[in-house]
Structure 1
Amino acid sequence: MDKLVSPGKEAPENMSAKVYADLRMKLIAGDLRPAESLSIRTLAEEYGVSAMPVREALRQLASENALIGAAKKAYRVPDLTPDEAANLFFLRAVLEGAAAEIAAEKIRESDVKVLKRLVKDMDKAWVKRDCSAFLRANYLFHSRVYLLTRNEALQQMIEVLYMRTGPWLAHGIVDLVDADSWLGEHPEIIEALRTRDAAEARRLVEEDARWGMQLYRQLS
């Protein structure tokens, strides 16, 4: 892991924000495994910072239910049951569907171009069976959509759901699904957004998230 900062050159709150952002993306991309333990001391050494900014970043993630406090100096990634994962995907369907409906009224051609590029990135990652790269591109695709809402509260709620589902999803996805299951709806979502068909955009995004919900219901 690359060190984030040179000691003594940046305020602790800035270092904490950088550690938080890096761990947040690792959760979203499934780079951190379910039930994995995170030691404050180990992370501080890896990031090249003191224990304080790491501790603050972990506390923030725990306050968002993305991590669990396992011991005084350690946290761990939640190990969701299939039912718990399915419930989180249900919430994603509700919130992201609403976001897509709003985004359809505000999307620009520049956004459409970015979304098309991200679908290509997802495709390339899937061919390589690179789950981390796939989930990063998938997250960037969906975040591009819900950021168009300019609704900070809605954005924050969706972000937390991506952090909470990422680790569980990443380490079962290759064996459970094929490429068409994940890639097929994204071009349709883009087209619905481009043509400002708000109802269809909402339906497709909800269907995309409900697919995950149904998958994990079957495993319970």
Structure 2
Amino acid sequence: MEQQIQGEGFSPDTAATRLHRELRTRLCEGDFAPGDVISIRRIATEYGTSAMPAREAVRWLVTEGALVFSDSRKIRVPELSRERFHEVLFARKSLETEVSRQAFPRLAAEDLAELEGIDARINAAIEAGDMQAYMRGNHRFHFLIYRRSHSCVLLPLVELLWLQYGPSMRQIGTRWGASSIADDHHRDVTQALSRGDREGFCNAIAADIEQGMRLLDE
């Protein structure tokens, strides 16, 4: 199911589709900042491909709204206004709470153990002030849960929201420092899962997203 949602079930496994998946993940994890210019030549060199699959992957991201043309030749990461970023977070809260509700009965003991391990690494990243490691861990924590929903409708929408969220949240977090996100609700998520409390689990997911709204409003 994860493969279908990311395009593998609907497109052949080509250099372009593999590169598209990789760039998608990097955008979600904040590896690119708002305003960054994306060079097709640089992407092709970095991943050891020709320009054609790099161009196809980047244009695919443009159609998804993750990248935009700044003119006829330049492609960049869009800069979200404060109002639009707030809307993205609001939409995340609505959709991700429901996706988490669907995922809850499918999460097993090994998933709980993996979530606790990811959370421990996130806490270490916060202690070290490593925003990149935090963003990477936060993305993996949330999507380990969401992909257990097996939702063919909501999960693709959540992924599109994260393509817009990642670069802007990385910028906000870098501005305020990793300590500003030290009170994340991941421990509340894992504790609710361990005691079989679905409502507490969904509420903790919602509270974690609301934290981003609070940072935006400071």
Match of 1:190 in 2: 190
Give 1:21's aligned residue: 21
Structure 1 position 127 matched with structure 2 position 127? yes
Residues 60-98 of structure 1: CA distance to partner in whole angstroms, max 9, x if unpaired? 111111111223443100111111111101111011111
| Contact 1:119 1:183 (8 Å CA) reproduced | no
- Report what 1:112 is aligned to: 112
Matched, 1:74 2:74: yes
Shift of 1:29: 1.9
Aligned match of 2:160: 160
Matching of residues 77-116 of structure 1 within 5 Å: 77-116=77-116
Could you tell me how far 1:101 is from its partner in structure 2?
1.5
TM-score, normalised to structure 2, is: 0.87
Q: Deviations over 1:15-58 (max 9, x none)?
A: 11222122112212212111111122232233222221111111
Contact 1:102 1:198 in 2 (8 A): no
Give the letter for the 2:130 counterpart: D
Pairing of 1:31-46 with structure 2 (within 5 A) = 31-46=31-46
C-alpha RMSD of the superposition: 1.9
Work out the CA distance in 2 between the residues paired with 1:187 and 1:132.
Answer: 20
Q: Name the amino acid aligned to 2:41.
A: R
Deviation at 1:178, TM superposition (A): 5.6
- Secondary structure of the structure 1 residue equivalent to 2:70: strand
**What amino acid does structure 1 have at the position aligned with 2:187?**
P
| Alpha-carbon separation, structure 2, partners of 1:108 and 1:189 | 14
Structure 1 range deviating more: 38-47 or 87-96 = 38-47
User: Is 1:56 the equivalent of 2:56?
Assistant: yes
Preserved CA contact (<8 Å) 1:104 1:197: no
Report the number of matched residues: 207
Match of residue 170 from structure 1? 170
| Cα deviations by residue, 1:147-183 (Å, 9 ceiling, x for unpaired) | 1111122221111211211111112214426647444
Question: Aligned with 1:71: secondary structure?
Answer: coil
The alpha carbon displacement at 1:194 in A equals 2.5
CA contact (8 A) 2:70 2:76 kept: yes
TM-score w.r.t. the length of structure 1 is 0.86
Partners of 1:119 and 1:137 within 8 A in 2: yes
The 10-residue stretch of structure 1 (133-142 or 70-79) with the greater mean CA deviation from structure 2: 70-79
Tell me, which stretches of 5 or more residues in structure 2 are unaligned?
1-11
Could you tell me the percent identity over the aligned residues?
Answer: 28
Question: Counterparts of 1:118 and 1:157 in 2: how far apart (Å)?
Answer: 24
Secondary structure of the structure 1 residue equivalent to 2:34: coil
Where relative contact order (Cα < 8 A, 6+ residues apart) is larger, the structure is: 1
Q: CA, structure 1 residues 93+86, in 2 after alignment: closer, same or farther (shift >3 Å)?
A: same
